[in-house]
Structure 1
Amino acid sequence: MIHVVGHTAVDHISRVHHLPEKNHSTHITERQVFFGGGAANIAAGIAVLGEAVTLHSCIGDDFAGSDYEQWMDKLGIHRQFFVVPGTHTPTAFMFTDDAGDQMTFFEWGASKAFAAAEAPALPLVHMATADPEFNCRVAEKSEFVSFDPGQDVFWYTKEQLESIIANTDILFANQHEVQQMCTTLGVTRGALTKEVTMAIFTMSSDGSTLYIGGMEHFVPVVPVKLCDPTGAGDAYRAGFLSAYVKGYSPLTCCRIGTVTASYVVEHAGCQTHLPGWTQMLERYHTHFGTLEQPALRG
């Protein structure tokens, strides 16, 4: 069982020709509403790939009976929810321009309850965007920890990052989040990678790099026609973690994450085009060759 901690949200995704400067405006050319939230996206990706997953999240009283609840039921996602009456389920407003750059505004809503919530002790947990103090408590109590600060990286203090990284086995981040963590901690990128067993840093269309055992391994992206980059990182993590619990090597897990992400960016919405394991394998074979046999993980 993979446990995922963090936001469940409703995504309002808009297209614009360009992102405006401060005190300027721009025209929205397209707007759609999708199921989202970093943790929920990862949980959905894991479920579609066929692995058992439990989502730990905060929701408002607008979630019960919603289409989103029915969707999670259909996927078979186990849920441990903090229900916060009188609040909205978190909502994200994302704007993507013609160059693929993004800007996001996030309403925490029910997720404010994370701050005072009792942190679970979990055997294998991935911590996505959530309250920094809550994630610190989860990391301290859990056995195996995967951490992804996401866009909430700016809310972490130096002490919080030091605490959580000290208890982290796998660190995920994109290039912007890596830069912010290094700035907050006052360390170099190389020093940061040495603080954890393995680190996976994604670089949008420039691929990703695995840092493990003092070595660097580059993984190129799978070339596809880009529709919307939203959710690519979440899909990567879902693919990686699903492969990791099956016993595949970390490098192969990165490749599986890359393939999983390639499906998501072909369509708008973070959960609208998630591949199953068989579907993922077809594209993996095309771009990376024969998939190795997994090993038993101790």
Structure 2
Amino acid sequence: MHALICGSLAYDNIMVFPDRFKHHILPEQIHILNVSFLVPEMRREFGGCAGNIAYNLKLLGGSPLIMATVGDDAGPYLERLDRQELPRTHVREVSGSFTAQAFITTDLDDNQITAFHPGAMSFSHLNKVAEASGVSLGIVAPDGREGMLQHARDFAAAGIPFIFDPGQGLPMFSAAELLDFLDLADYACFNDYEAKLACDRTGMRIEQLAQRLDALIVTKGAQGSEIHHQGGCTHIPSIAATAIVDPTGCGDAYRAGLLYGIMNDWDWTRTGRIAALMGSYKIASRGPQNHAPSRAEIGERYFREFNERIW
């Protein structure tokens, strides 16, 4: 059976400015800001939450299906999906649009100026969950607003359990819409900031939100994660990475572990551990899809960390 991953496919264009923004932005002239930065270093990464989650789930031996929208410039990404043997049956090409992409400029102090163009992502509502077959679990990851609302309703109508993962898209939704998502979903996953924002917006404590779900997961970076389930809370420690290189995509790697554990009927401790392990692999590699441990390597490292065989 497949996991249907509804979310974005995107290009991340990352540029490095070999100076500091503060040397070129004059506070007293901010009302007429007109600056240009020479960025001799640039790289393009394959990203987007759906692509990142599917990539990591494939590493674990799972069977992901991506449901996403891309534009006329998607050729290199589609070719990559083919090389990775990730089906693109439900990747819709929207003519006359660009694939979603971020333009990120970083200075020597790690300050960032980012512009994000949603492009074809804005048409994600054209994809319907009912078009996919053999699906036993889903996830609604950051995507176009209408698409996220539609896919949550589609999963619920089809009786397919799913994870609600709003990510940076959470501010798009009202309190009533967030509560509706939680009532439709079986699971939800927030990072610590998103969890606080959800609580502030709904006026409810995290424990109250968790009561609407089978499980609510809150990730806290180096402090590990918490899985709220049946009135209790399981703490999952973080796993020390071999290097701290780039956090981009760590949350998506973690979510792939959640999907894998749920699909294989693992308990929440084991599920949280494999999720944390995937996050530790990702943070040691630059870019969201450049780490490539084999399934055997993942199993051996899990055994070294927890003295338990998982396959």
TM-score when normalising by structure 2: 0.84
Percent sequence identity over aligned pairs = 27
AA aligned to 2:222 is S
The answer to whether structure 1 residue 133 and structure 2 residue 146 are counterparts is yes
Distance 1:145 1:242, change over 3 A: same
RMSD across aligned positions (CA): 2.6
Partner of 2:121: 111
Partner of 1:78: 87
Asked if structure 2 preserves the Cα contact closer than 8 Å seen for 1:133 and 1:160, the reply is no
Asked if structure 1 preserves the Cα contact closer than 8 Å seen for 2:170 and 2:194, the reply is yes
Aligned residue pairs total: 290
The answer to whether structure 1 residue 152 and structure 2 residue 169 are counterparts is yes
Asked if structure 1 preserves the Cα contact closer than 8 Å seen for 2:67 and 2:127, the reply is no
Distance 1:205 1:70, change over 3 A: same
Distance in 2, matches of 1:254 and 1:137, equals 28
Partner of 1:214: 231
Partner of 1:296: none
Asked if structure 2 preserves the Cα contact closer than 8 Å seen for 1:19 and 1:103, the reply is no
Distance in 1, matches of 2:274 and 2:106, equals 26
Q: CA deviation at 1:50?
A: 1.6
Partner of 2:11: 10
Determine helix, strand or coil for the equivalent of 1:268: coil
| Structure 1 unmatched ranges of 5 or more | 294-298
Q: Which has the higher Rg, Structure 1 or Structure 2? A: 2
Asked if structure 2 preserves the Cα contact closer than 8 Å seen for 1:100 and 1:229, the reply is no
Asked if structure 1 preserves the Cα contact closer than 8 Å seen for 2:16 and 2:40, the reply is yes
Distance 1:113 1:269, change over 3 A: same
Distance 1:254 1:94, change over 3 A: farther
Asked if structure 1 preserves the Cα contact closer than 8 Å seen for 2:123 and 2:147, the reply is no
Q: CA deviation at 1:236?
A: 0.6
Q: CA deviation at 1:119?
A: 2.8
Q: CA deviation at 1:19?
A: 8.2
Distance in 2, matches of 1:82 and 1:182, equals 34
| Structure 2 unmatched ranges of 5 or more | none
Determine helix, strand or coil for the equivalent of 1:11: strand
Distance in 2, matches of 1:157 and 1:100, equals 32
1:23-77 deviations in Å (ceiling 9; x for gaps): 598997954211000111001111222211110001001113x2x2221112211
Q: CA deviation at 1:177?
A: 0.9
After superposition, residues 231-246 of structure 1 pair within 5 angstroms as: 231-246=249-264
